[in-house]
Amino acid sequence: MVVYSFYIFDRHAECIYKRRWLPRPTSIVGKSRSEAAPTGLGQTVRSSDDDSKLVFGTVFSLRNMVRKLGGEDDNFVSFTTSQYKLHYYETPTNTKFVMLTDLKSPSMRIALQQIYINLFVEYVVKNPLSPTEHPGGVGVNNELFEESLEQFVVCVI
Amino acid sequence: MPSTDRGVFSLIIINKAGGLIYQREFQAGLHKLSTNDYLVLAGTFHGVHAITRSITPKIPSVQPPSPATSSPSTTAPAASSYSYPNPGVPVTGLDYLETDKFRLTCFQTLTGTKFLLFTDPLTGNVDTIVQKIYELYADFVMKNPFYQIEMPVRCEAFDRHLGAWLRGRA
Amino acid sequence: MAAPPRHATMLSISNGDKPAQAQPQTQQTTLPQSPGLRVPSNRKTIYDRHLNRSRNAESSRASFAFLFGEMVTYAQRRVTGIQDLEKRLNEQGYPLGLRLLDLLFYRSTSTSSSALSSSSTSSSPPNRPLRIITLLHLIHGPLWRLLFGRAADALEHSVSPDTPNEYMITDNDPLVNTYISVPREMSMLNCAAFVAGIIEGVCDGCGFETKVSAHNQPTDLWPSRTVFLVRFGDAVMEREKVLERSGVK
């Protein structure tokens, strides 16, 4: 399976982390770019900046719709189009994890949960230097988190 | 064989402008909304559907003069040439949505009408159900001289056949 | 009765072969005198074809549904009410019935009459019906089969002594109403008024002055069950008595 991109949104609807991967066939081309991306996460790549807003708008609307119909404890897990699959995981603190993969991927709910528990909480939340809020879109700029996420996506998935 | 007799909760039909033209509940399972909320839901979904289509990942195509990629122009390729993940398949918006409690199947006709079917997550053959509903719609709604196109569907024969068919399956 | 087949074929057929399609382009220029009529290369038009050729052919139900839908929409323009609309539909069916009658007779005489003539008419070679019962059987059986591919579901005489001139023909699921849902505010309307018009035309063509109307009589099993109420005129009833006395069948 292929992971296309990954987003984290905080409780203020701010995109605090964004990462795009290119599919493996073009991995050589992709590497050089993904190496460049982390340095100025999110805000440097202009074309994907709007994307993150659209992604947030989508998951936010769908989440509200699902809650209205299924009840407050219902949550949407994923949706698919003819081209990709979007996985969604929301923590009790309203932080939202979104991952776009190809259609063959199984449910990524557990994987997203692990990213939250094992990576985000460990390296970002517990990091005393990391800001708790991200006003103005500072974003998660944390090498340890970056690297382990990269590893997680490459190895586990 | 998957259990096909699981529930179909409800059906919503949205016209090409995003207006709600049909809403019917077949089986309890989802919260009931007010008519106004259903209208809002239809409009919202219409917009979200278009967005889910536009955020389709674009894969930069590998071009013959690939040495260029080592140059600093790292932001360029996203704009220039790209392909979609499944090149042979037309790009659609949201087709299926899964939650803990239900599964939403969205079928968009070539003319832009959307059928939203809410089913139990375990319901099988959802595509067959949607196709049949489309068929009944084409028969009993579009062939009805009293139906005004793009307006709310109030066709007793459509309701009757839809209900009978779904009951026949259950 | 200039051209019965053209109208009759509207309902009973779709032509098995399409002459116009085979027409080579070169022929078109040689026939400027017939702009409306498409003439195939062998110069045989639909009017040159044998009438029995399309007797077992069927037209698509969907195309009929769309055509009839348009007819209803057309009739709905500038109508004053439901009765007016039904009257217009009736008027659309009436000429069809008149013309259809010729085709019906033609087909039932020119063939072995095994398929078309019902049990009641099989005893004698099919003539123009003279008595009411014979006429009604003609409608209930052969006419219904010609139009809808099956006989009607019931034929009854009014039980009320006040209205001996009333007969009822029942169709459990009229073809014309298959896809039609009448809006609640027009619940009295029955689009089978068109079929009622055809029946009226057939009766009139046979020399029976009649008024036919279509009424909804839904049952749980047959939600679009329709009763066609056939009301014969006084002159017809009088003649019927005379014919009965003189033993005409």
**DSSP secondary structure of B50-116:** HHHHHT---EEPPPS-GGGGGSS--SSTTTS-EE-SSTTSPP-S--EEEESS-EEEEEE-TTS-EEE
**More confident call, A32 vs C195:** C195
User: What is the C-alpha separation between C235 and C240, in angstroms, rounded?
Assistant: 8
Q: Is residue B87 over pLDDT 90?
A: no
Mean pLDDT of chain C: 78
- Locate C218 and state its tokens: 């839904």
Looking at residue C37, its pLDDT comes to 61
The pLDDT assigned to C125 comes to 53
The Cα of C109 is separated from the nearest Cα of chain B by a number of Å equal to 37
Is the model's pLDDT at A15 over the cut of 60?
Answer: yes
| CB count in 10 Å sphere of residue C208 | 22
Type of residue found at C136:
L
This model of the complex carries an ipTM of 0.78
Q: Give residue for tokens 């099993």.
A: C221
- For testing contact with chain B, the best of C63, C77, C179, C185 (most B CBs within 10 A): C179
Q: Is the pLDDT of residue C1 over 70?
A: no
Which letter, b or e, does each residue of B110-140 get, where b requires 16 or more Cβ atoms within 10 Å of its Cβ? eeebbbbbbbbeebeebeebbebbeebbebb
The answer to whether residue C205 scores a pLDDT higher than 60 is yes
Helix (H) or strand (E) holding C166: strand C166-171
Q: Which residue of A has its CA nearest to B86?
A: A83
**pLDDT at residue A56 greater than cutoff 50:** yes
Name the least confident of A58-67, C15-24, C78-87, C118-127. C15-24
CA-nearest residue to B75 within chain A is A45
* Closest listed residue to residue C119, CA positions, set C82, C93, C155: C155
What CATH superfamily is the domain C60-245? Answer: Trafficking protein particle complex subunit 3 (3.30.1380.20)
Identify each DSSP E strand in chain A by its residue range.
Answer: 3-9, 15-20, 76-80, 85-90, 96-101
Does residue C123 carry a pLDDT above 50? no
| Tokens encoding C241 | 């008595």
B145–C183 CB contact, under 8 Å: no
- Contacting residues of B for A67, CB less than 8 Å apart: none
| pLDDT recorded at residue C119 | 44
Give the range with max mean pLDDT: C8-22, C34-48, C159-173: C159-173
Residue A47 has pLDDT above 80, yes or no: no
| Cβ-defined contact of C179 to B146 (cutoff 8 Å) | no
Q: Output the pLDDT for position C5.
A: 39
B53 touches chain A (CB under 8 A): yes
> A113 in contact with B at a CB cutoff of 8 Å?
no
**What letter does residue B147 receive in the DSSP assignment?**
P
**What pLDDT is recorded for position B108?**
93
CATH number of B4-58+82-166: 3.30.450.70
The answer to whether B85 faces chain A, any CB pair under 8 Å, is yes
**Better-scored residue on pLDDT, C221 or C19:** C221
Note whether B143 contacts C191, CB cutoff 8 Å.
no
> Running DSSP on this structure, what letter comes out for residue C49?
S
| Mean pLDDT, residues C160-189 taken together | 89
What is the mean pLDDT of the segment spanning A111-128?
85
Report whether A80 contacts A104 (CB < 8 A).
no
Share the mean pLDDT of chain B: 83
In chain B, domain spans: 4-58+82-166
Q: How far apart are CA B167 and CA B132, in angstroms?
A: 13
* Encoded tokens for C31: 């026939």
Would you state the pLDDT for residue B96? 92
Low-confidence winner among A121-125, C140-144, C239-243 (lowest mean pLDDT): A121-125
* Largest separation between any pair of C-alpha atoms in chain C: 69
Q: Do C183 and B139 touch (CB under 8 A)?
A: no
Q: Say what the pLDDT of residue C142 is.
A: 87
Chain B CA closest to residue A5: B57
Residue B141: Cβ-neighbour burial (10 angstroms; 0-12, 13-18, 19+): buried
- The answer to whether A103 faces chain B, any CB pair under 8 Å, is yes
d(CA A93, CA A91) in angstroms, rounded, equals: 5
Q: Do the Cβ atoms of C175 and C214 come closer than 8 Å?
A: no
Q: Chain C contacts of B136, Cβ < 8 Å?
A: none
Contact assessment for residue A124 and residue A148, using Cβ atoms and an 8 Å cutoff: no
Q: Is C85 helix (H, G, I), strand (E, B) or coil?
A: helix
pLDDT digits (tens, 9 = 90+) for B107-161: 999 999 999 999 998 888 889 999 999 999 999 999 999 999 889 999 999 999 9
| Cross-chain residue pair B145–C68, CB shorter than 8 Å | yes
Mean pLDDT, residues C200-223 = 91
Q: What is the pLDDT of residue C85?
A: 92
* Contact criterion met (CB < 8 Å) for C73 and B145: yes
**Geometric angle at alpha carbon C71, from C65 and C72, rounded to 5°:** 90
C80: tokens are: 């004053």
Q: Which residue of B lies nearest to C189 if distances are taken between CA atoms?
A: B146
Nearest-CA distance B85 → chain A (Å): 6
Average pLDDT over residues C93-102: 91
pLDDT attached to residue C6: 37
Residue A90 has pLDDT above 70, yes or no: yes
Least confident of A16-25, A65-74, C1-10, C184-193: C1-10
Per-residue burial over A6-28, b if 16 or more Cβ lie within 10 Å, else e, is bbbbbeeebbbbbbbbbeeebee
Q: Tell me if B55 and A58 make a contact (CB, 8 A cut-off).
A: yes
Chain B interface disruption, residue of A58, A72, A90, most B CBs within 10 A = A58
Domain residue ranges of chain C, discontinuous segments joined by +: 60-245
Residue B80: predicted pLDDT: 55
Q: Is C148 exposed, middle or buried (0-12, 13-18, 19+ CB in 10 A)?
A: middle
Beta-carbon pairs below 8 A across chains B and C: 44
pLDDT tier, C208 (very low <50, low <70, confident <90, very high otherwise) = very high
- φ/ψ region of A137 (left if φ > 0, alpha if ψ in -120 to 50, else beta) reads left
Mean pLDDT confidence for A137-153: 78
- Residue C15's pLDDT band (cuts 50, 70, 90): very low
- C211-239: burial string, b at 16+ Cβ within 10 Å, e else: ebbbbbeeeeeeebbbbbbbbbeeebeeb
Q: Which of C69, C71, C76 sits opposite B144 (nearest CB)?
A: C69
What percent of chain B is predicted at pLDDT more than 70? 84
Mean pLDDT estimate for chain A = 77
Choose among B48, B59, B100: nearest Cβ to A58: B48
Q: Do chains C and A touch (3 or more CB pairs under 8 A)?
A: no
Confidence at residue A48, expressed as pLDDT on a 0 to 100 scale: 55
Closest CA to A77 of A109, A41, A48, A30: A109
Q: What's residue B63's pLDDT?
A: 55
Query: CB A29 to CB B69 under 8 A?
Result: yes
d(CA C155, CA C192): 17
A74 contacts in chain B (CB < 8 Å) = 99-102
Residue C22, both tokens: 């085979």
The one-letter amino acid at C240 = E
**Weakest-pLDDT range from A94-103, B2-11, C193-202:** B2-11
C159 close contact with B: CB closer than 8 A: no
Give residue A110's pLDDT band: very low, low, confident or very high (50, 70, 90).
confident
What pLDDT shows up at residue B77? 43
Which residues of chain A does B80 touch, with a Cβ-Cβ cutoff of 8 Å? none
Beta carbons of B56 and A102 less than 8 Å apart: no
Residue from C230, C89, C239 nearest C163 by CA? C230
Look at residues C93, C104, C130, C96 and name the one whose alpha carbon lies nearest to residue C213.
C93
Query: A95-99, C114-118, C214-218: lowest mean pLDDT where?
Result: C114-118
Instruction: Give the integer Cα–Cα distance in Å for A102 and B83.
Output: 14
The reported pLDDT for the residue numbered C95 is: 93
Which domains are delineated in chain A? 3-156 (3.30.450.70)
Residues C107, C17: Cα–Cα separation, whole Å: 20
Asked if C106 contacts C234 with a C-beta cutoff of 8 angstroms, the reply is: no
Q: Which chains share 3+ C-beta pairs under 8 angstroms with C?
A: B
Condensed to tens digits (0 to 9), the pLDDT of residues B36-80 reads 999 999 999 999 999 998 888 887 766 544 444 444 444 444 445
Residues in chain B: 170
| Cα A93 off chain centre by | 16
Taking Cα atoms as reference points, which of C104, C103, C157, C97 lies closest to residue C133? C157
C181 and B157 within 8 Å at the Cβ level: the answer is yes
Are residues A29 and B75, on separate chains, in Cβ contact within 8 Å? no
What are A52's two structure tokens?
């993150």
Q: How many CB atoms lie within 10 A of CB B64?
A: 6
Residue C28 has pLDDT above 80, yes or no: no
Q: Which residues pair with C215 in a beta bridge?
A: C227
d(CA A142, CA A129): 10
For residue C155, the surrounding DSSP H or E stretch is strand C154-157
Judged by a CB distance cut-off of 8 A, whether residue C79 touches chain B is: no
| A104 — pLDDT class (breaks 50, 70, 90) | confident
The rounded distance, in Å, linking the Cα atoms of B80 and B57 is: 14
